[in-house]
Structure 1
């Protein structure tokens, strides 16, 4: 296939990270360090009611099993052969060099002013390096749209971003600043290991297009008309328009401090995953009860079941499919005695 960036050369490059590896690696690794492929991560999508645990090829199996409280399954071991947020033979070697040039500019010039810097007193930071910042976050958004079917851009915007990235050395300021772009930096204190409490992923059902890359949250708008308040677990506040950079003189980055970051991440995982998981359990239990007795279970029985399998809300996310089946059997046996 042809590389989608240049549309000319064959896609010959293996292991292209569509989320920049140097940004997300500390989030995915066991100790927050930079060693490759030594971590595990969680699928927070709503396709399944069960948290899917994925781990990388060099992950300590002992550490993994301590975290999961069980042995790794064959499916998980197979999944470990894959590299997260990475694709093979989608882009060409020359275009990969373009990505690397943009990434290196951001990592060398912008990242040190945020990660590990003294920013606890700042609510925002203003940057003159607009080109570096915009290009870096554009490649995250555009590559994700290429590599993830669920992450969509309109064809017109997709093509404009492609041309901006391809011609990044000579693209005009007007073209570069056309799309409103909001970046929140999640201050992460407590040492390298604390980065593992952050997330990596994206939403596929919201406006704006949103992606979380460890300690960065990207909100990309396709037009100025799309800049409206976006309620995403207190990520945004009353000043949201101030941080939707558009035809800006300096690029504003909002700082979400460490305490706020923890609250934001906790609320996100609780509402996004727990809500859907509990709904799934309730519906599955009702179906089971109906098949056995021909009537829907009383609400009291359903809630007793939910309490039995997870008497604390956080416990919802610790269950495997096999564990839920076992607990459900135990509950039904108690009711049939």
Structure 2
């Protein structure tokens, strides 16, 4: 067993650790109307395929609706990407849980002011960014020195009791003073609309994350603030010049109306769709060449027929858009052209 990724001194004996706090994650990937733990029913959208996962308490009737019959092998291989084993020790898991519970109280604060101590909110968002990065699975990976900086801050200042966090030392810490973030929120958006976790893989100044009804822009240096405006589905519009949150300044949010927030998320969906189609196009051409087809590109009509077969296939939702379904669709359409 490896040592804890946070303290690096105790054994990482904890299982079932959430890389994203449950109070936020349940609003993204839990079964509709089921906020309890182990009720996850989510989808991971990759470049070429969509995979899915489910919690151990999802009823068989629901699983049958989404997947049809599941094999023993499929059940054994099911895993939830944002729940991990043997990352943390018991103490560090409890410390992370404490900061999450404290920040969760701000969910009812739907105005600009989160009404929370600045050092607590900073530690919370640092913990999110750091955990996303160490997973190496969500697209966002910090530079080694940035990841180590956040680990060092969390290990130094998180505590088993919120009241024992050394706020004075934290506020005087030069490393902490360089960090800042902006936060967009659309209160209660997830009560009626689908939300997502999306970490931009190439944005660094700032690092950019969509998480449920929040959008985080995180800066490692003061010189990065407003130095570069990166396109982020429209969320970057109007960002320049707005107040930043630091260890010295209480958290203020930029409040979005539902219509504007939804429009930006639609831009995200369009981006993901376009990226998927580009990857399909590349794959189809590669297969076409390896199969000895004429020219370097698969005929456009054949490509469209493959995509249409995927889209209009009446498979259960959990079976659609997997790589296996893609291979079958290619085979079924390409064999029509066999001599």
TM-score normalized by the length of structure 2? 0.79
Give the equivalent residue in structure 2 for 1:286. 285
Superposed displacement of residue 153, structure 1: 2.8
Give the equivalent residue in structure 2 for 1:295. 294
Matches within 5 A, 1:7-156: 7-46=8-47, 49-67=48-66, 71-72=69-70, 76-80=74-78, 82-108=79-105, 110-114=106-110, 124-125=112-113, 127=115, 129-148=117-136, 151-156=140-145
Q: Distance in 1 between matches of 2:271 and 2:71?
A: 27
Determine if contact 2:288/2:297 at 8 Å carries over to the other structure: no
Q: Distance in 1 between matches of 2:312 and 2:222?
A: 42
Determine if contact 1:50/1:320 at 8 Å carries over to the other structure: yes
Give the equivalent residue in structure 2 for 1:269. 269
Aligned residue pairs total: 318
Superposed displacement of residue 280, structure 1: 2.5
Task: Give the RMSD, CA atoms, in angstroms.
Answer: 3.2
Q: Distance in 1 between matches of 2:91 and 2:213?
A: 29
CA-to-aligned-CA distance 1:273-294 (integer Å, 9 cap, x gap): x223212222233233334454
User: Structure 1 217/334 Cα, relative in aligned 2: closer, same or farther at 3 Å?
Assistant: same
Determine if contact 1:174/1:247 at 8 Å carries over to the other structure: no
Superposed displacement of residue 297, structure 1: 6.3
Superposed displacement of residue 136, structure 1: 1.0
CA-to-aligned-CA distance 1:191-248 (integer Å, 9 cap, x gap): 4xx36x1112433332132333322222222212223212111111133341443476
Matches within 5 A, 1:188-267: 188-189=188-189, 191=191, 194=192, 197-207=194-204, 208-227=206-225, 228-246=228-246, 249-267=249-267
**Residue aligned with 1:252, SS:** coil
Q: Distance in 1 between matches of 2:70 and 2:49?
A: 15
TM-score normalized by the length of structure 1? 0.80
Determine if contact 2:141/2:201 at 8 Å carries over to the other structure: yes
Give the equivalent residue in structure 2 for 1:166. 155
Gaps of 5+ in 1: none
**Residue aligned with 1:212, SS:** strand
Gaps of 5+ in 2: 158-164
